């Protein structure tokens, strides 16, 4: 398609649409930090020695009239009682579709006292996504998250603070984008009974574009159904709290644990 053969109105509309798709695709990549769906905040729980966990989820996003869909598969293995390894594989289902940057990492709970626990999650991101399609950075990157958790009766509180380093193979994008994305979030979960848990999660992070001064903020409402000790089903709704965040996002997921 040659843009200069398109009428001015249609050309402008097309350019705006393509720009919006790129922004949403990049936002989805930055939001794919591995956490128990539909949470954005990460808990300190681990699988135990020899334990495995498989998580599969999909989300539908809408921002400024542009719709996208993403999916993520995560495999976690318990190495020690307090240490997990994981591999996280995200995929964009909407156009332009394809694999995003996959990541590998560790989850280490280094403190646990009377319902209070803390942990670290270092993560290494591999350049498996196509940067020309806005599916990846084009170069590898790293992330580190400090996780705090407190359990009291039926309530669980989570607090995360972390940072991601991004490097881009495209010189222009490398110049226009922030190298470090700082983020923080807080969540509360309430176990209604042994089968149902409701949650609320909220957070803020640096905008990926240097020229953007408003930091994206969000809130999540979710529900988790514990079918049994090994199987969870979940649904979540994420809403922007300002114009910098993706407007709406709804997702469903399944988690299965085994040894």
Q: Cis omega before residue 133 (within 30°)? A: no
Nearest to 165 by CA among 198, 132, 206: 206
Given a contact cutoff of 8 angstroms between Cβ atoms, the answer to whether 246 and 27 are in contact is: yes
pLDDT score, position 199: 98
Residues 131-190: pLDDT tens digits? 888 899 999 999 999 999 999 999 999 999 999 999 999 999 889 999 999 999 999 999
CATH code of the region 3-258: 2.40.160.40
At 59, give phi and psi (nearest 5°). Answer: -135, 145
Q: What is the DSSP letter of 209?
A: B
Residues 191-216: pLDDT tens digits? 999 999 999 999 999 999 999 989 99
Give residue 9's Cα distance to chain centre: 36
Sequence length of the chain is 259
pLDDT score, position 34: 59
Angle at the Cα of 167 from the Cα atoms of 165 and 171, rounded to 5 degrees: 150
- pLDDT band at residue 74 using 50, 70 and 90 as cut-offs: very high
Residues 231-255: pLDDT tens digits? 999 999 999 999 999 999 999 999 9
Nearest to 121 by CA among 86, 152, 156: 86
Question: Domain segments of the chain: what residues?
Answer: 3-258
Q: How far is CA 196 from CA 152, 223, 230, in A?
A: 17, 7, 14
- Tell me the pLDDT of the chain averaged across its residues: 89
The span from the CA of 59 to the CA of 243, in Å, is 20
As to burial, measured by CB atoms within 10 angstroms (0-12 exposed, 13-18 middle, 19+ buried), residue 125 is: buried
pTM: 0.85
The span from the CA of 36 to the CA of 256, in Å, is 12
The span from the CA of 33 to the CA of 219, in Å, is 16
């Amino acid at each position: 398609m040659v843009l200069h053969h398109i009428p001015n109105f249609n050309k402008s509309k097309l350019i705006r649409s393509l720009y919006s798709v790129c922004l949403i695709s990049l936002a989805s990549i930055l939001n794919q930090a591995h956490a128990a769906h539909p949470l954005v905040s990460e808990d300190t729980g681990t699988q135990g020695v020899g334990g495995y966990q498989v998580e599969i989820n999909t989300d539908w996003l809408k921002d400024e009239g542009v719709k996208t869909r993403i999916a993520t598969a995560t495999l976690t293995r318990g190495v020690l009682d307090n240490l997990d390894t994981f591999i996280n594989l995200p995929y964009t289902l909407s156009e332009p579709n394809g694999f995003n940057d996959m990541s590998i990492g560790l989850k280490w709970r280094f403190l646990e006292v009377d319902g209070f626990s803390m942990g670290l999650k270092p993560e290494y991101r591999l350049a498996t996504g196509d940067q020309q399609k806005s599916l990846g950075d084009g170069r590898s990157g790293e992330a580190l998250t400090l996780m705090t958790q407190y359990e009291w009766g039926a309530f669980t509180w989570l607090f995360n603070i972390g940072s991601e380093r991004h490097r881009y193979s495209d010189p222009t994008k490398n110049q226009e984008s922030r190298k470090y994305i700082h983020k923080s979030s807080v969540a509360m979960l309430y176990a209604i009974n042994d089968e149902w848990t409701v949650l609320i999660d909220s957070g803020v992070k640096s905008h990926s574009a240097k020229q953007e001064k408003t930091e994206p903020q969000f809130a999540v409402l979710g529900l988790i159904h514990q079918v049994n000790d090994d199987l969870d089903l979940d649904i979540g709704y994420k809403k922007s709290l300002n114009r910098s965040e993706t407007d709406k996002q709804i997702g469903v997921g399944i988690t299965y644990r085994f040894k």
